[in-house]
Amino acid sequence: MSPALYWFLGGLVLMLLELALPGIILLFIGLGAWVTALAAWLGWVDSLAGQTLVFAIASVVLLVGLRRLFKGWLTGVTLAGDSAHELNEFLGKTVPVVTAIPAGGVGKVEFKGVHWNAQSDAPLGTGASAIITGREGLCLLVRPK
């Protein structure tokens, strides 16, 4: 087999491994192997040392030059927002207590038309007002107003 075929098959294996080990790195190393295969097939580099140099340079150039561009295309976009921004949406807001909250226990408050579990260190009766001081998952931390 010719060296170009070895480089081509090696590049193909690396690109297929990218499916099992996603990180958008093996893809560019595989493409570097294909660039080397093309250079060897065209007769531009005959020695193993020259092919290895072409492989190393092509892989690094492709990885550094194109990874950021391809990573956005291949990994998708998260729908989760900035958690600090989301927490600011809650902090300091006054909410009515819907279900009494015992000291250290859990009750319910209404925020933006939705009933939330709420926890407080001080007891809060139904109809009282509370101020949101934090959030732990789906439970709001509140204190008396």
pLDDT of residue 82: 46
Residues 18 and 45 grouped into a single domain: yes
Count structural domains, the chain. 2
pLDDT of residue 87: 63
Residues 14 and 56 grouped into a single domain: yes
Query: What stretches of 76-138 show up as alpha helix (H) in DSSP?
Result: 83-90
pLDDT of residue 36: 97
Residues 34 and 63 grouped into a single domain: yes
pLDDT of residue 85: 55
Would the pLDDT of 100 be above 70? Answer: yes
Would the pLDDT of 29 be above 90? Answer: yes
Residues 90 and 35 grouped into a single domain: no
Least confident span in 26-30, 74-78, 101-105, 108-112: 74-78
Least confident span in 23-37, 40-54, 57-71: 57-71
Q: Write the CATH number for 126.
A: 2.40.50.140
Least confident span in 63-67, 87-91, 132-136: 87-91
Can you say whether the dihedral through the CA atoms of 80, 82, 85, 90 is positive or negative?
positive
**Structural domain span for residue 101:** 83-144
Over the chain, what is the mean pLDDT?
87
Q: What are the CB-based long-range contacts (under 8 Å, 24+) for 3-9?
A: 3/40, 3/48, 3/51, 4/37, 4/38, 4/40, 4/41, 5/37, 6/37, 7/33, 7/34, 7/36, 7/37, 7/40, 7/51, 7/55, 8/33, 8/34, 8/37
User: For the segment 67-80, what is each residue's pLDDT rounded down to a tens digit?
Assistant: 777 666 655 555 55
Tokens of 52: 């290895």
Whole-model pTM?
0.49
